[in-house]
Structure 1
Amino acid sequence: MAVTVTDEPGDVVDPSEVSSPRSWRRAFADLAQGWRQRPLWGYLGWQDIKQRYRRSVLGPLWISISMGVIALGLGILYSALFQISLATFLPHVAVGLLIWNFVSGCILEGSEVFIANEGLIKFLPAPLSLHIYRLVWRQTLFFLHNLVVWVVLMIVFPHPLGLSTLLAIPAFVLLAINGAWVAILAGILATRFRDIPPIIASVTQLVFYLTPIVWSVDILSDNPAARERAQLVELNPVFHFVEIVRQPLLGQEIVGRYWLVTGVITIVGWAAALICLRNYRSRVAYWV
């Protein structure tokens, strides 16, 4: 008579897979079980924000205030340096920072997502993906708070927004999906090799300056001597993710190749993350 055993609560696994912790079924089951626990990681993500601003009068509103102050300072400074209209450049910088904060949050916090949850991983039988979903949800809440800055700027500096603005929704969903696989890869690697987090932090800082957040590609494109160099920015994968969200939010022309590049990166990135999750998921509890 065939016998089945459970690998995780609610998961039935074939006996032939029990002997080997490396299983595609277990990897996909981890992602599925984590997704089914949405009430848990949704609550935990919201509590993370509330705890950070505990006993603060303005509470999470400080998220938007701090981001708005930084965007205003950088916008005024660089618009003067580049001699660009503040009405044009300030929204460019603010929306760029809005997207960058989400990207850098997934990368930096993703590199320590399992290390920071050492106690939960060791003593609570929960899928690893729960911590990934919690991280991405927390960064999404930060993004939504900061979106207030964009609303204010669109009132002060009106842009030609239309139905294309709605493309920002699927663009952000795609961004969040990529944030998840980045957190899985960075989290597992950093748990095994503790030198990885500071390396990732240094590289992320470099990527910020290489990505047109506080500068614009149009500045290089308008300069005949630097026009060819402007094309090199497309070698930066973060650039494409920033643009697919920023273009609809600013009412700019939608460039299809940015969506194509991000789609390819999504497929390749998730393939690498699934391989990593399959091979090393069972070792994370020992590495932390």
Structure 2
Amino acid sequence: MNQPRQTPDLARITARAEGETPESRSSTISAAWDDLKRGFEQRELWLVLGWQDIKQRYRRSTLGPLWITIATGVMATALGLLYSLLFQQSLSEFLPHVALGLIIWGFIAGCIKEGSEVFIANEGLIKQLPSPLSVHVYRLVWKQFLFLLHNLVIWLALLAIFRPALGWNVLLIVPAMALILVNGVWVSMLFGIIATRFRDVAPLLDSLVQLAFYMTPIVWTTKTLHAQGGQVAQRARLAEINPLYHYLEIVRAPMIGEDVAAYHWWIVLGFTALGLLLALLAMRQWRFRVSYWV
């Protein structure tokens, strides 16, 4: 069925009612970037909505979000004890590696899996709330970041128990976290738009994330494989192909007192720039169709 044609004046009035200008509705990269900017400026909205998501999820629960921390801590302890025996590694070194890997992975996996359904889950708000599309993405990333902050209690407990030698490179956590957040935004935006149009993408991403967990050095280390030498050490280099390994490394290494090689940063920066470009291209082409697809 043909859509009713809007006159220029009517289109302008509709755009103003939605808090947008005709320029911001154009199919250009600058208009897509403007959506991200205007969405960030409405941070009072998505900060409150993200916090409400957590409160609603754990309504009538005594411990609330700490249940996630407890579950992550128990899993990290179990996997750390088991694999430290299998790989014959020191528990004081291996347990923090596993625990921080699970914490950071929780944020990455949450942005990918929930990001693929971010617009579908917010169908009502998208159709009724006059706000940029990026508001819903910021809301999701903020919620996942709050979960990550809750789980960092485990890291503080490990610091108190094992007392690793942390140097000035621990300050690298700040830019590393910033990069992780930026990547969470473009991942949620890109996969959210694609999965809203093609509904088979979300379950496919769920399976791929589960597969990527075992291919990423979370419950194993590249050092162990390199130490065995021979073909095992050569195959260990395949881990370098996995971009998620580099994301984990720039955050985890400073938190356990290890140095971060510069190439990890360059790879993450490269993927960040590429991902932002892909997200902007997707927004330029399809962001105004999301409300019809949900």
TM-score by length of 1: 0.94
Aligned-residue CA RMSD in angstroms?
A: 1.6
149-158 or 222-231: which moved more? 222-231
Aligned positions of 1:105-254 closer than 5 A = 105-225=110-230, 226-254=232-260
2:271 equivalent to 1:274? no
Summarize the alignment of residues 38-57 of structure 1 with structure 2, pairs less than 5 Å apart.
38-57=43-62
Q: Is the 8 A contact 2:19 2:130 kept in 1?
A: no
Asked if the contact 1:78–1:214 (Cα under 8 Å) also holds between the matched residues in 2, the reply is yes
Task: Give 2:72's aligned residue.
Answer: 67
Name the SS for the 1:222 alignment partner. helix
Q: Per-residue displacement from partner, 1:234-254 (whole Å, max 9, x unpaired)?
A: 100000000000010001012
CA contact (8 A) 2:215 2:239 kept: yes
Give 1:23 deviation, angstroms. Answer: 2.9
CA positional deviation for 1:154 = 0.9
Aligned length: 282
How far apart, in 2, do the equivalents of 1:63 and 1:90 lie? 18
Does the CA-based 8 Å contact 2:77-2:95 persist in structure 1? yes
Q: Is the CA contact 1:11–1:29 (under 8 Å) kept in the aligned structure 2? A: no
Shift of the alpha carbon at 1:29?
2.1
Deviation of residue 82 (structure 1)?
A: 1.1
Report the AA paired with residue 69 of structure 2: S
CA distance in 1, matches of 2:196, 2:19: 27
Contact 1:133 1:180 in 2 (8 A): yes
Which residue does the alignment assign to 2:3? none
Percent identity between the two aligned chains: 53
Write the deviation string for residues 181-227 of structure 1: whole angstroms up to 9, x where unpaired: 01111101100000000100001111100000000101110011211
Q: TM-score, normalised by structure 2?
A: 0.92
- Matched residues in 1 for 2:29 and 2:103: separation? 36
Q: Where in structure 1 are there 5+ consecutive unaligned residues?
A: none
C-alpha deviations, 1:52-85, integer Å up to 9, x for none? 1111111222221111111111111111111111
